[in-house]
Amino acid sequence: MKNNLYEALALIHSRPGLYIGEESINLLSGWIDGWRYALADEAFDGTSPPFGEFHDWVALRLGLHESTAGWRRMLLTADNGDDKAAFDHFFVLFDEFRNRRSRIILHARADQSRKPADWLDTAERKVLPWPHRLEIIRYTDDKGVFLRFIDEDGQAYRDEYCIDLDCALDRSAGMVDREEWKTNVDCD
């Protein structure tokens, strides 16, 4: 359990009273926030799929168009404020989230000539690397997709949820023209 959030969550699921006191979405959320703070995000590096995508996954599974409320509040709302029911619901969705498999539906190389001097993430207020390649990923039969940003080393460094394919194509318009997207998996 030392630095792996997913292993820690499996232990909490099996014995919540031992680790967080009781079956409570609020206590679980507080524990995860504390874990993240204590390990300065180390615990989230290398988790697959990245835990940062869980907000969007919950919104998708609950049929919501955005995840700004966060997974805890979305689950509490879906379960009519029942803390224990939301705790149980978390682990049902978390198991689905962990077991999902991605399918690349489109991919393209980002146009390097369009790269701005500083490409900012306005939410996190930091400069992001310009992507080398982009992929549009679908995990389920739902309309929603993820726009995945990939660096020169082939490593994904950011996924953005889009409500449908058109949203993803619009979001990437400054990096790739629509006609540049390809459907086969081999980008080279």
Query: Would you write out the chain's pLDDT as a tens digit for each of its 188 residues?
Result: 556 888 899 999 999 999 999 999 999 999 998 887 887 655 455 566 778 788 888 988 888 877 788 999 999 999 999 999 999 999 999 998 888 877 899 999 998 888 876 666 655 667 778 899 999 998 776 678 889 999 999 888 888 888 889 999 999 998 999 999 998 554 44
**3-class DSSP assignment, residue 167:** helix
The one-letter amino acid code at 27 reads L
pLDDT of the residue at 186: 45
| pLDDT of res. 179 | 92
Q: What is the pLDDT of residue 88?
A: 97
Q: Is the pTM of this model over 0.75?
A: no
Burial zone of 118 (CB within 10 Å; 0-12 exposed, 13-18 middle, 19+ buried)? exposed
134, β-bridge pairs: 108, 149
Query: Tell me, what's the pLDDT at 125?
Result: 64
Q: What is the CA radius of gyration of the chain?
A: 18
Q: For residues 54 and 48, is the Cβ–Cβ distance under 8 A?
A: no
